Amino acid sequence: MLTSYFWSGDAIRSRRVSDIVLSATLDVPAPSARVLADWQRETSTRLDLEPGDVEAMPLARTQMRWPDYRRCVQAMSDWTRALGLSDVLAASDVALMACRGARYHHDGAQYGGAAFCNLFLSEDKGLDLHFPSTGHRIPLTRGTAVIFDTGQPHGVIQRRSGNFSVADFAPDQDCIQIFLTWELPIEDAHVARLLDVKFDVAPSTSLQPDEEQVWLNGSPAAVCPESGRWQSDAH
């Protein structure tokens, strides 16, 4: 059993990590040539992304230079509303991100109180978003939308591959994906219901950690960055 310990106000609370992954392909506009050139400059010079890196991009600049940005947000708003999330998206923090693949990881040590809601803006570059524990494997194309628990291990790998390998991301290969990500509050009733999250699952007699982390079967666990498999946390 996967348990996320997360900050709820000024206290650590426990919850079950959901294995539900929701996805759809939305009709979103292609970024303009000006925006694509800006992204390319940003990822190749300032970020200098290495294989497996996931980094934040300047969202305000994209919003200013791409009038169709609001159509992307509207498409996500319509989709999440149809899933029963009401106005949760509009009230959630959003960021623009870039990845050159992604090593397997979970985000429960930083974002245990959230679910991620992502919208991919790049064309299909032969990459999949893979959740090894659940078996979900989602081809990344323009308009791919996903919602998942931050505690669930995931990575971005080559479609023909079964694991993450630096060798799959050659320097001369265009394999950068740009995406929007929203942090949906996991304690929101709509989000918890959609992902079937159960709270306060740790026995009251058990030791409570004093920081956000994910435990597997009662002890801290880490994710192998190449395979995505759980392994004992050596810390």
- Model confidence at 48, pLDDT cuts 50, 70, 90, reads confident
Helix (H, G, I), strand (E, B) or coil at 46: helix
Q: In what order do the strands lie in the sheet with 2-8?
A: 11-16, 2-8, 213-216, 219-223, 230-232
Does residue 112 form part of some domain?
Answer: yes
| pLDDT single digits (tens) 108-136 | 999 999 999 999 999 999 999 999 999 99
Q: Which residue type, as a one-letter code, is found at position 175?
A: C
d(CA 146, CA 161): 21
Interatomic CA distance for residues 9 and 174, integer angstroms: 42
**Residue 214, SS3?**
strand
Residue 235, pLDDT score: 45
Give how many domains the chain has, as a whole number. 1
Tens digit of each residue's pLDDT (9 = 90 or more) over 53-98: 999 999 999 999 999 999 999 999 999 999 999 999 999 999 999 9
Model confidence at 203, in pLDDT bands (50, 70, 90)? confident
**pLDDT at residue 140 in the model:** 98
Task: Please give the C-alpha separations between residue 10 and each of 183, 185, 213, 217, 221, in angstroms, as whole numbers.
Answer: 19, 15, 15, 25, 24
Instruction: Establish if 220 belongs to a structural domain.
Output: no
Q: Which domain holds residue 117?
A: 22-195
pLDDT tens per residue, range 159-180 = 999 999 999 999 888 999 999 9
What pLDDT is recorded for position 207?
Answer: 76
Across the chain, what does the average pLDDT equal? Answer: 95
The CATH number assigned to the domain holding 180 equals: 2.60.120.10
Give the percent of the chain with pLDDT over 70: 98
Cβ(181)–Cβ(118) under 8 Å? yes
pLDDT of res. 128: 98
Cα atoms found within 13 Å of the Cα of residue 29, Cβ hemisphere only: 14
How far apart CA 222 and CA 230 sit, in angstroms, is 6
Sheet architecture: strand order including 102-105: 102-105, 154-158, 127-130, 137-139
The whole-number pLDDT of residue 233 equals 66
pTM of this prediction exceeds 0.85: yes
Asked if residue 32 belongs to a domain, the reply is: yes
Q: What is the mean pLDDT of residues 24-46?
A: 95
Report the C-alpha gap between 73 and 22 in whole angstroms.
17
To which H or E segment does residue 70 belong?
helix 69-82
